[in-house]
Amino acid sequence: MITVQVSGFLTDFTGGARTITLDANPATVADALTELWARHVGLRDRVVTERGEIRPHVGLFVNGDHVRHLDGIGTPMKAGDELTILPAISGGAR
C-alpha cells in the first residue's frame, strides 16, 4: 500500500481528498501516478505535461525526498512509502 498526499488547489481534482491510499504496490512513481490518474483523471494534466514530464511548478516527493534528486518518475517505491504532490506557491504583495 502506498499513501499519496495531495495539497493546495490540486485537491479540487481529488474530490477534496488530501490523503489517497493506493491498495496496489506500484514499483515506481510512474506506476503510482498511473493508478492515481485512473482514480482522479483531472489531476494528471496539473501534475505532468502532455509528454509525461513533471511540471516545473509541481514537486513530487517520495518519503520527503524530491524525485528530481532521485530517479524522477522512475524512482522505485515499496509498500509503506508516501508520495507527496506539492504545487508551488507564488505571489504575494509588498
Helices and strands (H and E) in the chain: how many = 2, 5
Q: What percent of the chain has pLDDT over 70?
A: 95
- DSSP-H helix ranges across 1-94: 29-39, 44-47
What's phi and psi for 13, nearest 5 deg?
A: -105, 5
Structural domains present in the chain: 2-87 (3.10.20.30)
Question: Each residue of 3-16: pLDDT tens digit?
Answer: 999 998 999 999 99
Comparing C-alpha atoms, which of 29, 34, 33 is closest to residue 70? Answer: 29
Question: Per-residue confidence at 21, pLDDT binned at 50, 70, 90?
Answer: very high
Helix (H, G, I), strand (E, B) or coil at 12: helix
* CA-wise closest residue to 47 among 26, 23, 30: 30
pLDDT at 24: 81
* pLDDT of 20 strictly over 90: yes
The pLDDT-based confidence of 90 (bands split at 50, 70, 90) is low
